[in-house]
Amino acid sequence: MAAAHPGAEVAMVSHGDPIKAGLIALTGGDLAGLNRFYLPTGGIVSLRVERERAIIAERWTPRG
C-alpha cells in the first residue's frame, strides 16, 4: 500500500490477528510473538514506512 501511495496516508481495516501479524511482519518481528502483541478491539496503530522498513509511530487504545 505504501508503494502504491507514496507520501499519502492510507487507512486499512481488518480483524485483530491479521493486523497483529502484519504489524509484526512489517516491523521485522517474530510471528511467534503474535499472542504477546497486544491490540485491543477498536485499537489503532499508526505506521511510518521508510524505504524498506516500517516503524510503529503511534498506538491508540479506546477507553472502556
Answer for the pair 14, 45: CB distance below 8 angstroms, yes or no. no
Q: What is the mean pLDDT of the chain?
A: 86
- pTM reported for the whole predicted model: 0.70
CA distance 15 to 61: 15
Q: What is the pLDDT of residues 30-51, one digit of tens each?
A: 999 888 888 888 888 888 888 7
Cβ contacts of 44-51, under 8 Å, gap ≥ 24: 45/19, 47/23, 49/2
Q: Which of 53, 28, 24, 51 is nearest to 37 (CA)?
A: 24
Percent of the chain with pLDDT over 70: 98
